[in-house]
C-alpha cells in the first residue's frame, strides 16, 4: 500500500478509478443497447489509401502501457492538473457513450492468413474485440489525453512530452493500419478530448472537487 502511495498520490486514486469505471460503462455497457441496432460504416477514401499492416498491432497493444504511464504522470503532477485532465477525460468518454448509442458504427475487417506473430496477434485482437463502438476511437482518445495531460505537467521534461506526442501519433496510425478504426474515428477522438478538457476547465472542476474531497 505504501509503495502504491509513492506511485499514485491519494488525491489521484478516486479520479483514476472513476476513469476506469466510466471506460467500462462506455465501451462495454453501451453494447447492451446497440447490439441489435443498425451500425454505420463511415469508411472514406483516406482509409482505402492506408495499407493493412499487421506489424502495427504491437503499437496498438503497447498503448495500454502508454496510458498507465500517462495517467500516473498526470496524477502525480498536482491536484489541479489531475482533476481537470482526468475529469475532462471522463466528460469526453461520456460524450462517446452518447455517440455510441445514437450513432453505432462498424467496419469491414480484411481477411488474411495467419503466418507470422504479428498476424497471430492481429487475429487475436479481432477475436477478442468486436468491430463496434468505433467512433470516436477510445484508443486514440486515451492516447491524446495522455499527451495533452503531459503538456500541462511541469514535473516531466520536454523529452517526455515529445515522446508522448510521438506515441499518440503512432497509436493513431496503428488503429487505422490494423483496420481497427477508420480515419474519422481519430478526428472524433481528438474533438471530444478537446471539448472535455475545455468543459472541465470552464466548469471549474478543480475547485469543486477539491472542496468536495476535502470535506
d(CA 149, CA 152): 5
Averaged over 121-146, what is the pLDDT?
A: 97
Residue pLDDT, tens place only, 4-44: 567 889 899 999 999 999 999 999 999 999 988 999 999 99
d(CA 29, CA 166): 31
Please report, for residues 58, 132, 134, 167, the alpha-carbon distance to residue 151 in angstroms, rounded to integers and kept in the order given. Answer: 25, 31, 26, 14
**Percent helix, strand, coil in the chain (nearest 5)?**
75, 0, 25
* Residue 174, C-beta contacts closer than 8 angstroms, at least 6 positions apart: 56, 57, 59, 60, 63, 139, 180
Average pLDDT of the chain is 93
Q: Is there a cis peptide before residue 35, judged by omega within 30 degrees of 0?
A: no
* Nine-digit cell string for 122: 492481429
pLDDT value for 204:
81
Residue 162: its H or E element: helix 158-177
Contact by Cβ (8 Å): 179, 128: no
pLDDT value for 215:
47
pLDDT value for 28:
92
Provide the domain limits for residue 17.
Answer: 2-214
DSSP β-bridge partners for residue 41: 106
Say yes or no to pLDDT of 177 above 60.
yes
Number of domains in the chain: 1
Contact by Cβ (8 Å): 135, 190: no
Q: For the CA atoms of the chain, what is the radius of gyration? A: 18
Contact by Cβ (8 Å): 139, 60: yes
Q: What percent of the chain has pLDDT over 90?
A: 87
Q: What is the pTM of this model?
A: 0.93
Say yes or no to pLDDT of 50 above 80.
yes
Say yes or no to pLDDT of 66 above 60.
yes
Amino acid at each position: 500500500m505504501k509503495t502504491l502511495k509513492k506511485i499514485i498520490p491519494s488525491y489521484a486514486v478516486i479520479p483514476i478509478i472513476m476513469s476506469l469505471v466510466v471506460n467500462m460503462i462506455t465501451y462495454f455497457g453501451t453494447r447492451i443497447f446497440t447490439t441489435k441496432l443498425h451500425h454505420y460504416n463511415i469508411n472514406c477514401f483516406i482509409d482505402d489509401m492506408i495499407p493493412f499492416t499487421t506489424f502495427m498491432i504491437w503499437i496498438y497493444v503497447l498503448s495500454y502501457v502508454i496510458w498507465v504511464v500517462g495517467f500516473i504522470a498526470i496524477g502525480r503532477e498536482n491536484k489541479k492538473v489531475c482533476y481537470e485532465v482526468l475529469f475532462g477525460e471522463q466528460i469526453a468518454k461520456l460524450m462517446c457513450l452518447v455517440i455510441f448509442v445514437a450513432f453505432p458504427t462498424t467496419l469491414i475487417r480484411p481477411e488474411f492468413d495467419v503466418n507470422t506473430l504479428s498476424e497471430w496477434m492481429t487475429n487475436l485482437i479481432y477475436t477478442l474485440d468486436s468491430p463496434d463502438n468505433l467512433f470516436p476511437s477510445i484508443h486514440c482518445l486515451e492516447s491524446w489525453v495522455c499527451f495533452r495531460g503531459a503538456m500541462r505537467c511541469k514535473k516531466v521534461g520536454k523529452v517526455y512530452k515529445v515522446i508522448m506526442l510521438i506515441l499518440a501519433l503512432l497509436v493513431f496510425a496503428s488503429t487505422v493500419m490494423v483496420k481497427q478504426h477508420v480515419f474519422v474515428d481519430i478526428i472524433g477522438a481528438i474533438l471530444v478530448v478537446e471539448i472535455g478538457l475545455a468543459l472541465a476547465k470552464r466548469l471549474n472542476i478543480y475547485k469543486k472537487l477539491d472542496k468536495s474531497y476535502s470535506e
